[in-house]
Amino acid sequence: MSRVLVTETIAEGGLERLRQAGHTVDVSTGLSPEELLTAIKGANALIIRSATTVTPEVLEAATDLVVVGRAGIGLDNVDVEAATKRGVMVVNAPQSNILSTAEHTMAMLLSVARHIPQAHQALTAGRWERSKWEGVELADKVLGIVGLGRIGKLVAQRASAFGMRIVAHDPFVAPERARQLNIDLLPLEELAAVADFVTLHVVKTPDTIGMIGADYLAKAKAGQRIVNVSRGGVIDEAALAEAIRDGRIGGAALDVFASEPTTESPLFELPEVVVTPHLGASTREAQDKAGDTIAEQVGLALDGEFVPFAVNVSAAEANETIRPFLPLAERLGSLYGALAEGTPPSLTIEYQGQLADYDTRILTLAVLKGLFGSVSDEPVSYVNAPQMAADRGLEVRETTTTSLARGHVNLITLAGGDHSIAATLVGIDGEPRIVLVDDHRIDVPPARNMLVVRNDDRQGVIGRVGTILGDAGINIDDMHVGKSPDGASALMVVSTTEPVPAEVRDLLLAADGIGSVGLLSR
């Protein structure tokens, strides 16, 4: 049978299941990166938690590796792309800690409302400070939930039981779906202005880093209390500390921080702040669920069976014609989400050309994986992406036609709401190209950091964009200009070496001849 290398502490029940199936379980914790390169040789499966980093070097040394199992949700420590290229399946346990995280959020919510840790510390230090730690009730208060994924919805259910009114911000949830949950969807600025408490349930992306910063805090309702049990870095800790000192923000409860582990933060010295050392998933039940789930997934992968929580697709699941388009479809979904700044009621995915002769369902899964992958509070797989679309009220329509489109042998087009984007592969090497954005013909490779600038079709505008970016120290990697069908306006797609900050975007918007600026950093 197979050798399973386990480099971190996993619930024993799951490991015993693998042993009973006949596999050799090698538990070697505390390995250094160099020791891991030696230990991984000959292993067919690797089970980790958050401390082990699976790099391309580790995968290269693991010549017999079939599957990497992460006992938990996050995959920041696994190079999934490198694993996919080597044909190594990556699996996780996406549902193992959502309940524990939601409950910890409620614990933090109550703690910051009633000053429980501060009162406990004072009393055990010999001080009876009953009047000092007067709190507030949750009943009849407005709770703003930023990120209405599985954890956000669990928090909403529990907060409703306390008599709170729920509002939420999540551009990837359809308004009708939110109404079914008795939740009002609001833009972030409006949520900031009306919420008495705010809880965050978002992933860490270029769009969410520092989203709770000086600008948000200046618009927040006076006395608002903020809870973060999602990802560190989405709150500007220095700006939050300043807002609490000024009395604009009533308090905060944080379980995660920009840098971890940490014992220093400007927030730690403030009596209005409650902190815990990333305990959201630290319950016995969550650890047991994660261990049991990952052992089951790894066992299925080793047996060659269907693996429900695989986050990448093995080569066997797509034929040779479809396979090269999988990364393009996923990237296209991500770019569409940034372009549309949310999810429309319906999304049409059209496959044109030779692709129409094949089963394109796996490409549709890749599109949805890309669309939701950068906004969900849990990793998105080819298996759970359709359910996420259903949960968010997104109707997905798939169409095919064998006719050539716009001169391309194959074309994938996403259209919904007021936006559309299309891409293809060109040349012998199958290089990806975005060839259409909102009916404007372009030709540019997809990049990590991109701008979509709509502008008047007249002299000087393109140069103005280049000057503003250059003055900000932002290098342009690529640029293409496409005219609208009526010729009245133009659209620039600009690739940059680094993300464009919000203040530079504002400068572009203020420039003469610029109509709109979209950030496609994913």
Residues with catalytic annotation?
Answer: 231, 260, 278
Q: What does the alpha-carbon distance between residue 199 and residue 106 come to, in Å, rounded to a whole number? A: 9
* Total Cβ atoms within 10 A of residue 440: 21
Q: How many other CB atoms are found less than 10 A from the CB of residue 111?
A: 21
Q: How far is Cα 299 from Cα 25, in angstroms, rounded to an integer? A: 12
**Long-range pairs for 117-123 at CB < 8 Å and ≥24 separation?**
117/274, 118/271, 118/274
Element (H, E) at 292: helix 284-302
- The first and second tokens of residue 300, run together, are 């299925």
What is the SS3 assignment for 467? helix
Determine the Cα–Cα distance for residues 508 and 514; give it in Å rounded to an integer: 7
Closest of 442, 421, 444 to residue 433, by C-alpha: 444
Between vectors from CA 463 to CA 460 and to CA 464, what angle results, nearest 5°?
85
Q: For the purposes of burial, counting CB atoms within 10 Å of the CB of 142, is it exposed (0-12), middle (13-18) or buried (19 or more)?
A: middle
202: CB partners within 8 A, 6+ apart: 146, 147, 208, 211, 230, 231, 234, 375, 377
Give me Rg for the CA atoms of the chain. Answer: 25
Edge to edge, the sheet with strand 489-496 lists 476-483, 489-496, 450-456, 514-519
Phi, psi of 60 (to 5 degrees): -70, -35
Q: b/e string for 307-338 if b means 16 or more Cβ within 10 A? A: bebbbbbbeeebeeebeebbbbbbbbbbbbbb
Distances (CA, A) of 506 to 30, 288, 339, 340, 500: 48, 48, 17, 19, 10
Whether residue 249 contacts residue 224, with contact meaning beta carbons closer than 8 Å, is answered with: yes
In 10 A of CB 292, how many CB atoms? Answer: 19
Distance CA 188, CA 224 (A): 14
Element spanning 422, H or E: strand 419-426
Residue type, 220: A
Secondary structure class of 277 (helix, strand, coil): coil
Task: Please tell me the distance from the alpha carbon of residue 343 to that of residue 385, in angstroms, as a whole number.
Answer: 14
